[in-house]
Amino acid sequence: MQRKELDAALWIINKAQVANYEDKIIIEQVNNYRENLAHENSMTIGEVSLQTNIPASTLRYWEKEGYVHSKRGDNNYRYFNSYQFIKILLMKLTQNAVYSHEIIQLKKTIRNLEEYDIEGVKSIVEECQQHLNKRNQEQFHGLYFLYQLCAKLGLK
């Protein structure tokens, strides 16, 4: 804005809004998987990486840190069950959030989820939805002030 490059600033804002929308889609995915958890499914780390767009190295790191767990097959590949896939999606929700004490606590809660704790997942999803709604509202509020700044700078 100091260089009076309104279009560049708007694209940065657009990127943040896209991240919010992507997080909304992830919440919907988690709810869908949670409701259909009876259908057990195992996926390799490569399959999970493709479906979630999360690098396999990140998945291995999350496993090392105890956020998710896999089982090893006869071929020594990592296999994630449907419940671990849900935890992976929950962890992905933390990636676009501003690093804060709340996000640290959320990650700890995800790490401590017991296997197939559906109520725990539901509670985390509700908390994530609240964070996402708050972030969306704060961005909207920020747009209001950006509009006012643009008017003062004669950029609208």
Would you state the pLDDT for residue 39? 67
pLDDT at 4 over 90: no
What confidence tens digit (pLDDT) does each residue in 118-145 have?
A: 899 999 999 999 989 999 999 999 999 9
pLDDT at 40 over 80: no
Question: Taking residues 14-18, what's their average pLDDT?
Answer: 93
Under DSSP, the state recorded for 81 is -
Bridge-based pairing of strands 78-80 and 43-44 is antiparallel
Burial 79-115 (b: 16+ CB within 10 A, else e): bbbbbbbbbbbbbbbbeebeeeeeeeebbeebeebee
What the block records as the tokens of 9 is: 């600033």
pLDDT at 21 over 90: yes
State how far the Cα of 132 lies from the Cα of 13, in Å rounded to an integer.
Answer: 16
- CATH code of 139's domain: 1.10.1660.10
State how far the Cα of 85 lies from the Cα of 78, in Å rounded to an integer.
Answer: 12
Strand ranges inside the chain, DSSP E? 43-44, 71-72, 78-80
Question: Taking residues 21-50, what's their average pLDDT?
Answer: 89
One-letter amino acid at 42 equals: S
Whether 17 is in a domain gets the answer yes
Whether 155 is in a domain gets the answer no
The residue range of the domain holding 44 is 6-150
pLDDT at 58 over 90: yes
Sheet with 78-80: strands ordered across: 43-44, 78-80, 71-72
Whether 119 is in a domain gets the answer yes
**Which of 35-49, 59-73, 98-112 shows the lowest per-residue confidence on average (mean pLDDT)?**
35-49
- Give the residue, 153 or 45, on which the prediction is more confident: 45
State how far the Cα of 110 lies from the Cα of 113, in Å rounded to an integer.
Answer: 5
pLDDT at 99 over 90: no
- Give the residue, 115 or 47, on which the prediction is more confident: 47
Phi and psi torsions of 71, nearest 5°: -110, 150
Whether 156 is in a domain gets the answer no
The three-class DSSP label of residue 121 is: helix
Would you state the pLDDT for residue 38? 64
Handedness of CA 129, 41, 77, 110 (dihedral sign): positive
Domain count, the chain: 1
Question: Taking residues 105-116, what's their average pLDDT?
Answer: 92
What the block records as the tokens of 10 is: 């708007």
What confidence tens digit (pLDDT) does each residue in 67-78 have?
A: 999 999 888 889
Whether 1 is in a domain gets the answer no
Whether 58 is in a domain gets the answer yes
